[in-house]
Structure 1
Amino acid sequence: MSQDLNPSPAAAPTPASAGAPSEASNRVKLGWSNRLLARPEFGAAVAAVIILIFFLIIAPSFRSVDSIFTVLYQASTIGIVAVGVGMLMIGGEFDLSAGVMVTTAGLFNALFSYYLGINLIVGAITSLLFCLAVGFLNGYLVMRTGIPSFLITLGSFFVLQGANLGVTKLVSGTVSSPDISQMDGYQLMSTLFAGSFTIAGVTVWNTVIFWFVFVALSGWVLQRTKVGNWIYAVGGNAASARAVGVPVKRVKIGLFMTVSFLAWFVGMHTLYRFNTLQAGNGVGNEFLYIIAAVVGGTLMTGGYGNAIGVAIGAFIFGMTSLGIVYAGWDPNWFRSFLGVMLVLAVLVNLYVKQLSTKRKVG
């Protein structure tokens, strides 16, 4: 092998091999391409580029810098929660209550503060504690009972959805929260969670910055810390992880609470962006978070994926949801697109996982 890779000066190439790459060179090139294809985010990145070029061609209004930042804002409202959902899926679990929990967080803050006459900051902290308690309960029940997280969090979904509507109607007499724009603490909370700034005439929402921060933090945890190794381990094989000393219960409960925290964060943004909330909002968003993660290369079976892929999946959601509007199409087709993207992403992810497995074995 060493002679093939480093031929002596006296060795002249045969006519058949002259000018042709060696077998070893082909193996090196194939290995490099396989490593690239085996990246969880590779398929999503290719899809994002194709979709971006497509809408740049057919939708002239999509070409402005302001439109791109509007897309980023739209992506951030899904992408922030999708960061936690993606980590949870890598850990082998699902949370179907995340969508309505966003609305629960905002309603809790608004109703609690308005009708008890307390500062909105205190109400937001209380709302956070409540959301974390729901996340802890979801994780605890999954680990304690062995019931699949799909069913546990589906139950939480219905409980929260009913409470959102029932409590709001009971307290306010309507299905929407009161306007909080004149309450103590509003200016600070609005600036933090729903603020924006302008750069060269382009509006940048704070949520976009927070989204980037959360993605970077998630990527660091998953790739650079012991906790990240634990998350991949419990998602790949919880029994084996437990056998080597990984605290499976704490890891999974922590992941559920992470989803709850990020849902609370987006709930605060939604409340302080619009100053009021409809109690029925948020239903169906849990699927958007999952789709963003799956399109971004996260396997539904757990143990595979990364934060960058999930972020690209959310960006694809933002591009599509606004690109369809900019192109002048019927926005009802958006859901059909999501369905197609989900199926294609699952097929691509399985193929990429097979490549990754073959590379490791080889």
Structure 2
Amino acid sequence: MTATSTPTAQPQTDERLATTSWLTRLLRRPELGALMGAVVIYVMFSAADTTGVFATITGTARWTDYASGVGIVAVPVALLMIAGEFDLSSGVMVGTSGLLCGVLTTEYGWAMWPAIAATFAFAAVIGLINGWLVMLTGLPSFIVTLAMFFSLRGINLGATKSITGTVRVAGLRDVPGYDSASKIFSSTFWHPYDYRIAVVWWIGITILATVVLSRTRFGNWIFAVGGDANAARNTGVPVRRTKITLFVMTQLAAALVGIISLTRLASMQAGQGVGQEFTYIIAAVVGGCLLTGGYGSPIGASIGAAIIGMAFIGITYAGWNSDWLYLFLGVILFAAVLVNTLIGKRAAGARK
């Protein structure tokens, strides 16, 4: 009589402990699509350049100058989007902060540094109001911040004109502390290429945000509230505090760009910054942030800002009509969302 062998049961492996290939891990990076797009855009404008400057160190100084103004705000906007919220008042805050600082110094005799401190405090209060209203009312953040956008825009025009008689402030070069402030916020380095110090601010904010998001408890909270706010709240995550903090950070970054613009030009127009909020969101989305929250990275947002900077300067160097810039940005936005979606599906399939 022949003995029958019983098949040995195979141990079940926890899928959370399963190893993944380097390609799968790479595909899961939210900034991959933006990085691919940046390479394509850089090569395209290098080939289309009619001046021979775009691909040089000087050309890089020009497009990073524009990109830094976008990236400084796009990074905290990306964090806010990861948390599932939007801020449509970030663009107008650029003009509001510059006007406030300019009025305090030129019309009321404040020195530059106290005016800058008051401007940042004002921006923090606006961010606090935005976050508090969103959490208190339960209204979509784009509605609350859109209302703030129109409110600040009206204040910029009405208050500035009633105080100065015009819709701009100027004449800051004689204000005490202006020279030291301009060195911190709007100076240049690496002569003769003259990179703007704003690029250093941009890189520093990107590094700080990346560390916060990937290495701290607060970063875990950001992902948690963006993924499922109710589940996060049930596990002890301070949802309200997390989101309000992010609104404050976004407004502070916008105020920083406003101060940079003010000290660079020694003047500020009432309409400055209006419309830039969409550019910040485009940079974040191009960088891999989902509109539904819970996914994205500061590095991706910075790469998105770099793409916008390359497009803005590259179109000029290529000799194209600059009126086509926004069409180009629209195409980039659509292509980036499409590529990120395809990459995300590929990564999801690789987990199985």
Aligned to 1:313: 304
- Gaps spanning 5+ residues in structure 2: where? 1-17
Q: Equivalents in 2 of 1:119, 1:88: separation in Å? A: 33
Shift of 1:61: 2.3
Q: Equivalents in 2 of 1:153, 1:198: separation in Å? A: 39
Query: Is 2:188 aligned against 1:196?
Result: yes
Query: Is 2:22 aligned against 1:32?
Result: yes
Residue 111 of structure 2: which of 110, 113, 119 is its match? 119
| Contact 1:140 1:253 (8 Å CA) reproduced | yes
For 1:341-360, what aligned pairs fall within 5 Å after superposition?
Answer: 341-360=332-351
Deviations for 1:203-262, whole angstroms, at most 9, x for unmatched residues? 121100111000000000001111000000000110000000000000000000000110
Q: Equivalents in 1 of 2:128, 2:329: separation in Å? A: 30
Aligned to 2:3: none
For 1:204-243, what aligned pairs fall within 5 Å after superposition?
Answer: 204-243=195-234
Aligned to 1:261: 252
Shift of 1:269: 0.3
Q: Equivalents in 1 of 2:206, 2:334: separation in Å? A: 24
Helix, strand or coil at the partner of 2:176: coil
Shift of 1:349: 2.5
Helix, strand or coil at the partner of 1:62: coil
| Contact 1:120 1:183 (8 Å CA) reproduced | yes
Residue 176 of structure 1: which of 168, 173, 176 is its match? 168
Shift of 1:327: 0.4
Q: Equivalents in 1 of 2:139, 2:219: separation in Å? A: 24
Q: Equivalents in 1 of 2:43, 2:84: separation in Å? A: 34
Residue 328 of structure 1: which of 319, 327, 333 is its match? 319
Query: Is 2:126 aligned against 1:151?
Result: no
Aligned to 1:295: 286
Residue 248 of structure 1: which of 239, 248, 252 is its match? 239
Query: Is 2:328 aligned against 1:340?
Result: no
Moved more, 30-39 or 304-313: 30-39
- Gaps spanning 5+ residues in structure 1: where? 1-26
Aligned to 1:284: 275
User: What one-letter code is carried by the residue in structure 2 that aligns with 1:257?
Assistant: V
Q: Equivalents in 1 of 2:124, 2:293: separation in Å? A: 23
Shift of 1:113: 2.0
Residue 39 of structure 2: which of 29, 44, 49 is its match? 49
Aligned to 1:104: 96
User: What one-letter code is carried by the residue in structure 2 that aligns with 1:180?
Assistant: L
| Contact 1:298 1:349 (8 Å CA) reproduced | no
Shift of 1:73: 1.1
User: Size of the alignment, in residue pairs?
Assistant: 333
Query: Could you say what the CA RMSD is over the residues aligned between the two structures, in angstroms?
Result: 1.5
User: What one-letter code is carried by the residue in structure 2 that aligns with 1:149?
Assistant: S
Shift of 1:163: 0.4
Q: Equivalents in 2 of 1:299, 1:176: separation in Å? A: 37
Q: Equivalents in 2 of 1:178, 1:209: separation in Å? A: 26
Q: TM-score if structure 1 supplies the norm length?
A: 0.89
